[in-house]
Structure 1
């Protein structure tokens, strides 16, 4: 924006830089056209009639019972040793935050602004000891490698099927100021201590 101010009879121009912040991170995603070419909104991605979820958009989302009681917010994503998303880690609304595991099967619906479950008592369980959490175990920011040893970038996000938990794509970046890249994979990842190995070739 350019603003004109008249000082001592002479016009002086000031250039005002106005920062613009996207309302949702989805507006910044650079998805490959061949991967997600059907439909998407600011909360999910659709591919061939199948809804895909991303952890970045689920994190911080409130969780409600079918009766409208808010029980907590999504804090993390749990993944099995086989590379399958098993559920969400929910932090309850309490003085001392407690983490519980919410299996994908127990979720009634993924809404645009919240997640609904049928009932609380039999649904929320302790986080399985053998589960791997995307944030807690610091998978985000870890280097992704192809099965041929090629660096694919630092992991930023994962795309998974909301019903089955199958991870089908990864969002990576080369650094803070580089654009994101979405990498498709038909095989589950190998989650190592220091790296993540994904298959990016036709099987």
Structure 2
């Protein structure tokens, strides 16, 4: 996972000639698809003069540089209206206030965390507000908690506050528990391994190949297995909690794309309302993540009658 701020000033190098052509100036975030869709190579004195690299044209984002195939990867923002629109001030998320839907200030966005291989955004680093007290630092806010991105404010569900209070620090607390458990088991494993080393030094080669040596080796292996299993269990539990919150936020909203099962049968059509039955089918067919990433987050431009009609239509299809 990469922080958007870590890209700042990194050289942009062409693969064909190995030449530094620009340095990263900024990133462009799409709040609807939850992706970094471009890197800004040069801001320009006015927006129309800016030069950008669409994410699809990036060859690699490394620890020290961004590489592109050649100079043609750079385009003027005027040639891509979507990128240009997202670079306008009202669409930039950095520095925006984060508030619950009932108006509670939770801080502001300090950074964006994304995957360097595909640009998918996992969440935001938050500073100030309620989060500062709960975390004693800068916490991570999952993208799944975002219900709407406005011109000045990013909204999250009201129960985001409850999540923090219940977990005494939410995701950070969970991470700390995992870390402590892992360190404990790692220390145990290290001690067991050291014991094996001492036994080896004091005994013959034949002895270490015997049953007792094998027992010590097996103890070390078992301990390391505990490390992996405990970490996986805790993170799995965290993932399940986040997924259930995403499900609750999705039910009753339309989808922005067609959701298929593994046999290409339609679970939900574009614009269909997400129901609990659709969630169950998508989970069974391994399509739940696709469904949850396709939830329409803005307020649907539909009357109540139209919304009811869509729900009734879905029931008839079952």
Q: Shorter-chain TM-score category?
A: 0.5 to 0.7
User: What is the aligned partner in structure 1 of residue 35 from structure 2?
Assistant: 84
Are the equivalent residues in 2 in contact too, given 1:167–1:188 (CA < 8 A)? no
User: What is the aligned partner in structure 1 of residue 6 from structure 2?
Assistant: 57
User: What is the aligned partner in structure 2 of residue 116 from structure 1?
Assistant: 67
User: In the TM superposition, what are the counterparts of 1:117-196 in structure 2 within 5 Å?
Assistant: 117-121=68-72, 123-127=73-77, 128-130=80-82, 131-133=85-87, 139-147=93-101, 149-174=103-128, 179-186=137-144, 190-196=148-154
Instruction: Give the unaligned 5+ runs of structure 2.
Output: 44-48, 161-241, 247-318
CA offsets, 1:17-50, max 9 Å, x none?
xxxxxxxxxxxxxxxxxxxxxxxxxxxxxxxxxx
Are the equivalent residues in 1 in contact too, given 2:57–2:68 (CA < 8 A)? yes
**Aligned alpha-carbon RMSD (Å):** 3.0
State how far apart, in whole Å, the 1-side matches of 2:59 and 2:126 are: 30
With over 3 angstroms needed to count, the CA separation of the structure-2 counterparts of 1:110 and 1:138, relative to structure 1, is closer
Residue 197 of structure 1: which of 148, 151, 155 is its match?
155
State how far apart, in whole Å, the 1-side matches of 2:88 and 2:3 are: 12
With over 3 angstroms needed to count, the CA separation of the structure-2 counterparts of 1:135 and 1:112, relative to structure 1, is farther
Q: After superposing the two structures, state which structure 1 stretch, 140-149 or 82-91, moved more.
A: 140-149
State how far apart, in whole Å, the 1-side matches of 2:61 and 2:20 are: 14
Moved over 6 A (4+): none
State how far apart, in whole Å, the 2-side matches of 1:59 and 1:155 are: 17
Instruction: Give the unaligned 5+ runs of structure 1.
Output: 1-51, 93-97
Residue 74 of structure 1: which of 6, 20, 24 is its match?
24
Higher helix share: 2
Mark the structure with the bigger radius of gyration: 2
State how far apart, in whole Å, the 2-side matches of 1:100 and 1:182 are: 30
Are the equivalent residues in 1 in contact too, given 2:60–2:117 (CA < 8 A)? no
The number of residue pairs the alignment matches comes to 146
CA offsets, 1:133-185, max 9 Å, x none?
39896532210124565432111001012233222111111179x72121123
With over 3 angstroms needed to count, the CA separation of the structure-2 counterparts of 1:152 and 1:188, relative to structure 1, is closer
The answer to whether residue 57 in structure 2 is matched with residue 106 in structure 1 is yes
State how far apart, in whole Å, the 1-side matches of 2:107 and 2:13 are: 36
State how far apart, in whole Å, the 2-side matches of 1:81 and 1:138 are: 9
Normalised TM-score (structure 2): 0.40
With over 3 angstroms needed to count, the CA separation of the structure-2 counterparts of 1:156 and 1:166, relative to structure 1, is same
Higher strand share: 1
